[in-house]
Amino acid sequence: MQRISNIFKKQEPEKPVTKKFVEKKAESGMKEGKPVAEKIRAGHVHESGCTGCLVALADNYEGILKILDRYVDWVYDLTLADTRHIPKMDVALIEGSVCLQDKIAVEEVKKARENSAIVVAIGSCACTGNINRFDRGGQANQPQHESFVPLSDLIDVDVFVPCCPPTPEQLRNAVLMAYLLLKGTDDQKKLAGRYLQPLMNLAKSPFFSKASFNTLMQEVINQGLCMGCGSCAAACPVRAITMEYGKPQGERDLCINCGACFAQCPRGFFDHGLTEQYESIMELIQEVLK
Amino acid sequence: MVLGNYKTVVSARSTDKEILKGAQDGGIVTTLFAYALDEDIIDGAIVAAPSRSKPWRGHWDIWRAEPRVVTTRQELLASQKTGYNICPMVTPVKDAVRMHGLDRVGVVGVPCQIQGFRKAQLYPIAMRDVPDKLALVLGIFCMEVFPYQSIVQLVEDHLGKKIDSVKKMEVGKGKFTVRTERGETASIPLKDTHKYEQPGCHVCLDYVANLADISSGSVGSPDGWSTVFVRSKKGEQIWNEAMTAGMFETKPMDQVKPGLDIVKKLATEKITKNRKTLDSRATFGVGKGLRNPYLNL
Amino acid sequence: MTKVVEISPTTRHEGHSKLVLKVNEEGIIERGDWLSITSVRGLEKVAYGKNMEQVPKIVSRVCGICPVAHTLAATEAIEASICCEVPRDAHVLRVILQCANRLHSHALHNILTLPDMYLPGTDKKINPFSPEEPVRSVAKRIQRLREIGQTICEIAGGQSIHPNNPRIGGMYMNVSPRAKNKMYDLTKEAIPLAKAQMDFMIAVLRNYQKREWAEVGGKQVPIPKNLGYHNQGYMATDPVYGTTSFAENPSWDAERFMEVRPWDWYMSEVEIDLADASYPVGGTTPVGVKANPRIEACNGVPLYDGQPVEVGPRARLSRFKGFDEKGTIGQQVARQMEYMDDCYAMLSHIDELNTSGKVLADEIPRGDGTCLAWATNEAPRGTDVHFARVRDGKIHDYSMLVPTTWNFPTCSQALAGAPWQLAEVIMRGYDPCVSCATHMIVIDDDKKILAQKLIQ
Ligand code: SF4
Ligand code: SF4
Ligand code: SF4
Ligand SMILES: [Fe+2]
């Protein structure tokens, strides 16, 4: 853990971690947590998604065992654990869109917000609606299930981890940074806050929860920002993007509205100062999982 | 810090005659990749290669750059020539670690593309299995690049040469120069090329690929040599091994002309100009600005 | 007197479901209903009018545990509808992808099953996440098997969760010789691990079978010898892969199938009058709450020859290998036995792959709308059937009949005779994938309509 202080020596002064997190942490009733004081309480809430996001988290293989050993008490997860009702948590990872016509789903997602200090929307169903943006009801046995929205339409979401599916590595990074934000030293809190900042910005963005290939066009190409790196084409999980004469062409009949192209694009968001420390941050992540 | 973090900077040239023959400058990138392939440091590399010409598009497409996954020295050498037009180097990175079966990938790119690779490592939002597979990241100095059509117009209109007769393109000493198969050279001042630049380059705040393991470019070194920044731990290790293996001859930067000062000068110019562009974008319209992608600038 | 107890939501499986159980005075289930309560996304309806290339990508997202099944069943149903034959090596890549997904999925299911089971020779239930031995080595082995499965999926299929290499007409790309060797080496590594895992799991399952009781919420609940028995019969279309209506001898008969709404098969409104707050974790539904399975169910009821059937590992082993052990443990043992066949099938197909063979059909017809075709895929949890009719590259009809939909009513039958506290153990034997199961077609009026369309 020594390394984190080194990271901050090189860093310019910057905004402190948002106040909201700190306040919420205080009121989240951590006293009832397990004796292992350093662990955070986290869980997985499943809405209208496919569990692929959870599988992606589990695809950290041995890494996930280490995370559960050392940093996280996994207190809620209908797929991997036995608890039936959403408890108080530090971090709720919520997967899936919410069906407005499904009372249980709407109540659950509100409850998850109420009970959690940090809400992380994992996967594009939760962040942008993804394929659920195409849903239009009419199907047995609940034809009235027609409107599916991303989480941020109903509750405040703190962090977005988009893509369909999200990657094991990005989920791991988000969980570890959330841990550092809550339990780390001051320097670690600062680093974690800075790391999570763009993912928090996505959660607050006026356009990102409505993302599709068009978002990449509107917010990068149309804004004169594209430099033709091809990250978007590599990112697209359905091969909807090809690079034509150095610029992205989106097959809109393939696009599933996941937002990964914009989120991965270096001209979507980019933090020069933080990225300069890539070596030490990657070493840090490796070290905490050793 | 316009030149980014680095451990050492030298002027260098490949000792590999075969590579030097086809090289743009000191043959740094090709030699490093050839060495890394040989020494089993990488399984393959993503390099810029002339687009495989498609007859229906006409043969002049040879100057259009395209990323390609290569795994042998022959393939690597066949892809040395590039022509200042946009080549989306990040595109095949996921296929490289999947269908190509590479566990250790070498990549090369201009500064903004290296930003893309590093973002893929730090924020692998859609880059599963990429972060730990980039074994050697090489950067190239870059002031700006051009859409392919810009190159066509510069060469065929401004310089009056058929693009498929061009043997070599060069940006340097304030000029854009081409040499044709008939041995002619023609050039125009760089300032005449500016209007054709890719717009996205105007918000780029990196000239010497600050985020690469090793970055290089002709600026600062004599003809046929390259200025090389060795930046990361990994870069330093590979560079030192390659030096020990005799892959490069080097000269200290303070003993070559024009030297590091010109690199610093151009880097400062680029970054200052583009910071201004960013500022002016903020008030581009009437009470409305354009989006700024950068955090904590 | 019969009482009603409700377990909602059920845990340790994919998605949201619940159990409504009528039990006698001894707490033995007389009649059980297991139903999905996952929101109905209606992806089949979404498919209507969409581009045929996009539909496999959308329906893949029905399930992140068995996305390969949905991608391949969709792709092949569409290919059958447009009468497109895919090149041999594309098919070989798809089979590799199929096997790799099954390897990961079965291993994942081990994690979900183990907490019900005991370490042989002890009265200690297994927590798969415990850092203590011998459990930690098992957890690591499971994760390594999953890693191998997912990595091979990624090489052959482009992505492990929601593969993007398959496309209508074949695959986007073949793999390199290096990638082929990598898949081979990984499979070789998996074989001894899979063998060890199979042996471990079967020992644990047999141990459970021999036990008199299982501890649930602090009580010792007797384990009946006929835990999970039913007489509904089995359905499977292939030991490993699947079949299509385009095949020369399809191993599935669409005319024998129909699907009805839950109305006929599930209970009408009941009031909960038995509750147990100690049932782990969080108790059962409180007394006084009403449940109405036939209205609440988000799944349909598919029938083969007029009855629900079981699909999945035991159905495959029973149809193709004469395996005949009944009950939950028999079903679980069958799943473990599939490990090896799966690895060998993967290995032989990797061997068979020609890395320079073409993987995309030269001509991909756009469909004339006359052919309502289907394809089955033997997903980890059982037969996944997709139906498609394509005209001019656009989807005109689309339906899915996924494994857990078949198993919902069958499992409901299998609940009877067990103490209600073990209902979830029976349910978990089916490796339920509930998000999948909310997708269905309902052709209750006249199954001839479907049959006629198929004949055209
Ligand atoms: S984002 Fe993708 S992987 Fe996650 S739940 Fe939605 S469809 Fe599944
Ligand atoms: S990732 Fe962004 S900058 Fe790169 S090519 Fe795509 S749109 Fe352009
Ligand atoms: S183009 Fe691809 S990456 Fe972008 S939103 Fe659509 S599906 Fe996602
Ligand atoms: Fe599934």
Do you know the residue count of chain B? Answer: 297
Query: By the 8 A CB rule, do A163 and B125 touch?
Result: yes
3-state secondary structure at position A98 = strand
Q: Which residues of A touch B122 (CB under 8 A)?
A: 173, 274-275, 278, 281-282
CB contact under 8 A, C155 and B98: yes
How far apart CA C370 and CA C385 sit, in angstroms, is 19
Ligand 2 atom at minimal distance to the Cα of residue A264: 1
Query: By the 8 A CB rule, do C95 and C241 touch?
Result: yes
How far apart CA C387 and CA C375 sit, in angstroms, is 7
Smallest Cα–Cα separation from B204: which of A277, A272, A274? A272
- For residues C96, C97, C98, C102, the Cα torsion angle rounded to the nearest 10 degrees is 100
Q: Which segments of chain A have a pLDDT < 50?
A: 1-36
Tokens for C259? 């699907």
Q: Bridge-partner residues for C137, per DSSP?
A: none
In the predicted model, is pLDDT for residue C57 greater than 60?
yes
Of C8, C63, C147, the CB nearest to A51: C63
In the predicted model, is pLDDT for residue C451 greater than 60?
no
State the distance from the centre of ligand 4 to the C-alpha of C243, rounded, in angstroms: 19
CA distances, A159 to each of A285, B263, C132 (Å)? 19, 40, 34
Q: Tell me the best of A93, A94, A95, A163 to mutate to test the pocket of ligand 1, counting ligand atoms within 8 Å of each CB and taking the most.
A: A95
Q: Are strands B226-230 and B8-14 parallel, antiparallel or unpaired?
A: antiparallel
At B56 the pLDDT is 40
Mutation test of the interface with chain B: which of A127, A175, A227, A280, choosing the one with the most B Cβ atoms within 10 A? A227
Ligand 2 lined by A191 (C-beta under 6 Å): no
Q: What is the mean pLDDT of residues C29-53?
A: 94
Q: Which residues of A touch C115 (CB under 8 A)?
A: 82
Smallest CA separation from ligand 3 atom 7, residue: A255
Q: Which domains does chain C have, with CATH numbers?
A: 41-260+304-403 (1.10.645.10)
Ligand 1 atom at minimal distance to the Cα of residue A95: 5
Tokens for B53? 């010409």
C175–chain B Cβ distance below 8 A for any pair: yes
State the distance from the centre of ligand 4 to the C-alpha of C421, rounded, in angstroms: 25
Instruction: Mention every residue, 6+ apart, whose C-beta is less than 8 A from residue B6.
Output: B229, B230, B231
CB contact under 8 A, A78 and C54: no
Vertex A14 angle, CA A9 and A15, to 5°:
140
The one-digit pLDDT tens for each residue of chain B (297 residues) are: 899 999 999 999 999 999 999 887 899 999 999 999 999 999 999 999 888 755 444 555 778 889 999 999 999 998 876 678 999 999 999 999 999 999 999 999 999 999 999 999 999 999 999 999 999 999 999 999 999 999 999 999 999 999 888 988 988 888 999 999 999 999 999 999 999 999 999 999 999 999 999 999 999 999 999 999 999 999 999 999 999 999 999 999 999 999 999 999 999 999 999 999 999 999 999 999 999 999 998
Tokens for C388? 């498609």
Q: What is the mean pLDDT of residues C248-273?
A: 92
Against chain B, the chains showing at least 3 CB pairs within 8 Å are A, C
Q: Which residues of A touch B288 (CB under 8 A)?
A: none
Q: Which residues of B touch A162 (CB under 8 A)?
A: 125
Task: Please count the CA atoms within 13 angstroms of the CA of B126 that sit on its side-chain side.
Answer: 30
A83 lies in some domain: yes
CA B201, distance to chain mean position in Å, is 13
Q: What is the mean pLDDT of residues C66-87?
A: 97
Domain count, chain A: 1
Ligand 2 lined by A273 (C-beta under 6 Å): no
Query: By the 8 A CB rule, do C336 and C202 touch?
Result: yes
A233 lies in some domain: no
C115–chain A Cβ distance below 8 A for any pair: yes
How far apart CA A171 and CA B123 sit, in angstroms, is 10
Ligand 2 lined by A263 (C-beta under 6 Å): no
Q: Which residues of C touch A134 (CB under 8 A)?
A: 43, 46, 50, 58
Task: Please count the CA atoms within 13 angstroms of the CA of B133 that sit on its side-chain side.
Answer: 23
How far apart CA C376 and CA C250 sit, in angstroms, is 10
Q: DSSP code of A168?
A: H
Task: Name the helix (H) or strand (E) containing A160.
Answer: strand A159-161
The answer for A89, left when phi > 0, alpha when psi is -120 to 50, beta otherwise, is beta
How far apart CA A235 and CA A218 sit, in angstroms, is 17
Tokens for C151? 């990595």
How far apart CA A206 and CA C287 sit, in angstroms, is 45
Do you know the residue count of chain A? Answer: 290
Distance, in angstroms, between A179 CA and closest chain C CA? 19
Query: By the 8 A CB rule, do B117 and B99 touch?
Result: no
- Give the gyration radius of chain B's Cα atoms: 19
Tokens for C127? 């927590």
Smallest Cα–Cα separation from C78: which of C441, C420, C451, C393? C393
How far apart CA A43 and CA A20 sit, in angstroms, is 20
Task: Name the helix (H) or strand (E) containing C318.
Answer: helix C313-321
Query: By the 8 A CB rule, do A160 and A121 touch?
Result: yes
Distance, in angstroms, between C174 CA and closest chain B CA? 7
Query: By the 8 A CB rule, do C324 and C98 touch?
Result: no
- How much of chain C exceeds pLDDT 90, in percent? 90
Q: DSSP code of C362?
A: S
Please state the three-class secondary structure of C326-361 as a single string. CHHHHHHHHHHHHHHHHHHHHHHHHHHCCCCCCCEC
Q: What is the ipTM of this complex?
A: 0.96
3-state secondary structure at position A74 = strand
CB contact under 8 A, A82 and C11: yes
CB contact under 8 A, C57 and A62: no
At A34 the pLDDT is 36
Distance, in angstroms, between C1 CA and closest chain A CA? 28
User: A174: nearest CA in chain B?
Assistant: B123
Ligand sitting nearest the alpha carbon of A217:
2
C97–chain B Cβ distance below 8 A for any pair: no
Instruction: Mention every residue, 6+ apart, whose C-beta is less than 8 A from residue B288.
Output: none
C17–chain A Cβ distance below 8 A for any pair: no
Query: By the 8 A CB rule, do A121 and A149 touch?
Result: no
Interface of B with A in 241-270 (CB under 8 A): none
pLDDT range class, residue C446, cuts 50, 70, 90: very low
At A94 the pLDDT is 98
Q: What is the mean pLDDT of residues C10-23?
A: 95
B95–chain C Cβ distance below 8 A for any pair: yes
Tokens for C254? 């669409």
* Number of C-beta neighbours around residue C351 at 10 A: 11
Smallest Cα–Cα separation from C247: which of C376, C417, C355, C142? C376
- C181-227 pLDDT per residue, tens: 999 999 999 999 999 999 999 999 999 999 999 999 999 999 999 99
User: Which amino acid would we find at residue A43?
Assistant: G
Ligand sitting nearest the alpha carbon of A53:
1
Pocket residues: Cβ below 6 A from ligand 1: A 49-50, 52-53, 95-96, 123-125, 130, 164-165; C 61, 64, 161
Q: Give residue A205's domain range.
A: 34-210
State the distance from the centre of ligand 1 to the C-alpha of A166, rounded, in angstroms: 8
A167–chain C Cβ distance below 8 A for any pair: no
Query: By the 8 A CB rule, do B274 and B294 touch?
Result: no
Ligand sitting nearest the alpha carbon of C164:
3
Q: Which residues of A touch C39 (CB under 8 A)?
A: 47-48, 99, 101-102, 105, 142, 145, 148
Backbone phi, psi, residue A113, to 5°:
-65, -50
At C213 the pLDDT is 98
Smallest Cα–Cα separation from A154: which of A84, A96, A213, A90? A96
B98–chain C Cβ distance below 8 A for any pair: yes
Instruction: Mention every residue, 6+ apart, whose C-beta is less than 8 A from residue B292.
Output: B278, B281, B282
State the distance from the centre of ligand 3 to the C-alpha of A132, rounded, in angstroms: 14
A238 lies in some domain: no
Ligand 3 lined by A241 (C-beta under 6 Å): yes
C159–chain A Cβ distance below 8 A for any pair: yes
Please state the three-class secondary structure of chain B as a single string. CCCCCCCEEEEEEECCHHHHHHCCCCCHHHHHHHHHHHCCCCCEEEEEEECCCCHHHCHHHHHCEEEEEECCHHHHHCCCCCCCECCCCCCCHHHHHCCCCCCCEEEEECHHHHHHHHHHHHCCCCCCCCHHHEEEEEEECCCCCECHHHHHHHHHHHCCCCHHHEEEEEEECCEEEEEECCCCEEEEEHHHCHHHCCHHHHHCCCCCCCCCCEEEECCCCCCCCEEEEECCHHHHHHHHHHHHCCCEEEEEHHHCCCCHHHHHHHHHHHHHHHHHHHHHHHCCCCCCCCCCCECCC
Tokens for C14? 């994919």
Distance, in angstroms, between A115 CA and closest chain B CA? 27
At B223 the pLDDT is 93
Instruction: Indicate the pTM of the whole model.
Output: 0.94
Q: What is the CATH number of the domain that holds A132?
A: 3.40.50.700
Q: What are the residue ranges of CATH 3.10.450.750 in chain B?
A: 146-197
CATH 3.90.1150.220, domain B146-197, yes or no? no
How far apart CA B125 and CA A236 sit, in angstroms, is 10
CB contact under 8 A, A264 and B125: yes
How far apart CA A281 and CA B23 sit, in angstroms, is 35
Query: By the 8 A CB rule, do A170 and B120 touch?
Result: no
User: Which amino acid would we find at residue C76?
Assistant: E
At A154 the pLDDT is 98
Smallest Cα–Cα separation from A48: which of C20, C250, C40, B99? C40
Smallest Cα–Cα separation from A44: which of A79, A84, A82, A88? A79
* DSSP structure string for C410-456: HHHHHTTTSBGGGHHHHHHHT--BHHHHT------S-HHHHHHHHH-
In the predicted model, is pLDDT for residue C164 greater than 70?
yes
The answer for A250, left when phi > 0, alpha when psi is -120 to 50, beta otherwise, is beta
Ligand 1 atom at minimal distance to the Cα of residue A52: 3
At B78 the pLDDT is 86
Helix C327-352 × helix C177-210 angle, to 10°:
170
